[in-house]
């Protein structure tokens, strides 16, 4: 039987942060569906387009409206999920409602995996109201199984700065202690060994041995930078990490290599197409930079590995 996902609108990470339109959510559903998942999705926003454009119109889902939708799912007894994936929100009541729903779903299925992108900010600045921070720290992260913070968010949640790989490992261990068994710091300011054209990401995954003891696999991966602003890359990242950790539950190295390689193929196809449309010497516009997800179906299903992770201590 195919695993089931309850999908709230996630956010994009790495390059840009915004609400995500229903269209991007549709493509995310498609991405995980081609990997064998059945998906129920709720749009936490219903926008005419994503906010990488100059203008947008639409509505934002409230906590009460989310509760009504979830109650409808329960009344039909179709709320048996294997995964929950969530992302950006600006409202504490909505976020707390998500936590309540996740906890209820976990009581029904103790093996449910909650994948959370803890959207707080980047590069020293908050993107959400300050009052969301304690909700993430005290309520969301403790019930999450997989989290994908950037460096700023990881530092904020733990109160520890990252200035070396050793610091990053300690921060990931602190995040493990808060609840999640898998932590991926999606981007950092650490110096890349491959040169300035790369970004450093790090991951850590705890495992319980049959005898009850714990072991931890930690990885480092350097990914090429791209001189463009995309909307939806982080949404795709969270969805792909969910999918590939499902297929490789005890091998974070392979799951990260698959995830980052999908990202590479989609972004490269997108930027090539955008430059072709824009013409020589012209910077691509937001419509031209819409992610080429459908065209990347084969890469999503079976990505050629182009970014290799290394095991770190």
Domains located in the chain, CATH noted: 21-49+56-280+288-312 (3.40.1190.20)
Q: Which long-range contacts (CB under 8 A, 24 or more apart) does 159-162 make?
A: 162/188, 162/189, 162/190
| pLDDT tens digit sequence for 16-39 | 223 333 344 555 677 788 888 888
Alpha-carbon gap, residue 255 to 51, rounded angstroms: 30
DSSP label at residue 6:
E
Q: What mean pLDDT comes out for the span 261-282?
A: 94
> 3-state class of 121 per DSSP?
strand
Residue 94 or 50, more confident: 94
Which of 235, 251, 299, 302 does the annotation list as catalytic? Answer: 235
- Judged by average pLDDT, the poorest of 52-66, 151-165, 174-188, 286-300 is 52-66
Place of tokens 């530092």: 155
| pLDDT tens digit sequence for 222-253 | 999 888 878 778 788 989 999 999 999 999 99
Instruction: Indicate the pLDDT class of residue 178, thresholds 50, 70 and 90.
Output: very high
Q: Give catalytic status of residue 235 as yes or no.
A: yes
Instruction: Indicate the pLDDT class of residue 208, thresholds 50, 70 and 90.
Output: confident
Q: What percent of the chain has pLDDT over 70?
A: 90
Q: State residue 169's pLDDT score.
A: 98
pLDDT of 53 > 80? The answer is: no
Q: State residue 79's pLDDT score.
A: 86
Q: State residue 20's pLDDT score.
A: 36
CB distance 216 to 179 below 8 Å: no
């Amino acid at each position: 039987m195919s695993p089931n996902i309850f999908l709230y609108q996630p956010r994009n990470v790495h390059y840009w942060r915004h609400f995500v339109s229903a269209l991007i959510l549709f493509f995310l559903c498609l991405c995980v569906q081609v990997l064998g998942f059945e998906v129920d999705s709720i749009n936490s926003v219903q926008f005419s387009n994503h906010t990488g454009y100059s203008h947008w119109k639409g509505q934002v889902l409230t906590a009460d409206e989310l509760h009504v939708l979830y109650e409808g799912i329960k009344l039909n007894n179709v709320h048996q999920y294997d995964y929950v994936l969530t992302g950006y929100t600006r409202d504490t009541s909505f976020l707390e409602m998500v936590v309540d729903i996740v906890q209820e779903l976990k009581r029904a299925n103790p093996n449910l995996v909650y994948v959370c992108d803890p959207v707080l900010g980047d590069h020293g600045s908050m993107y959400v109201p300050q009052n969301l921070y304690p909700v993430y720290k005290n309520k969301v992260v403790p019930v999450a199984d997989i989290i994908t913070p950037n460096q700023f968010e990881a530092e904020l949640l733990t109160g520890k700065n990252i200035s070396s790989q050793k610091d990053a490992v300690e921060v990931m261990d602190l995040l493990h202690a808060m609840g999640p068994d898998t932590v991926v710091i999606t981007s950092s300011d650490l110096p890349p060994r491959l040169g300035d054209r790369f970004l450093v990401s790090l991951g850590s995954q705890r495992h319980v041995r049959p005898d009850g003891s714990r072991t931890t696999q930690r990885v480092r991966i350097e990914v090429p930078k791209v001189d463009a602003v995309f909307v939806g890359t982080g949404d795709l990242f969270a969805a792909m990490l969910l999918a590939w950790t499902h297929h490789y539950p005890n091998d974070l190295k392979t799951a990260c290599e698959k995830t980052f390689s999908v990202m590479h193929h989609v972004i490269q196809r997108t930027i090539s197409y955008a430059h072709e449309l824009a013409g020589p010497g012209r910077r691509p516009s937001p419509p031209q930079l819409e992610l080429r997800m459908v065209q990347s179906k084969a890469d999503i299903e079976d990505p050629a590995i182009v970014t290799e992770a290394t095991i770190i201590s």
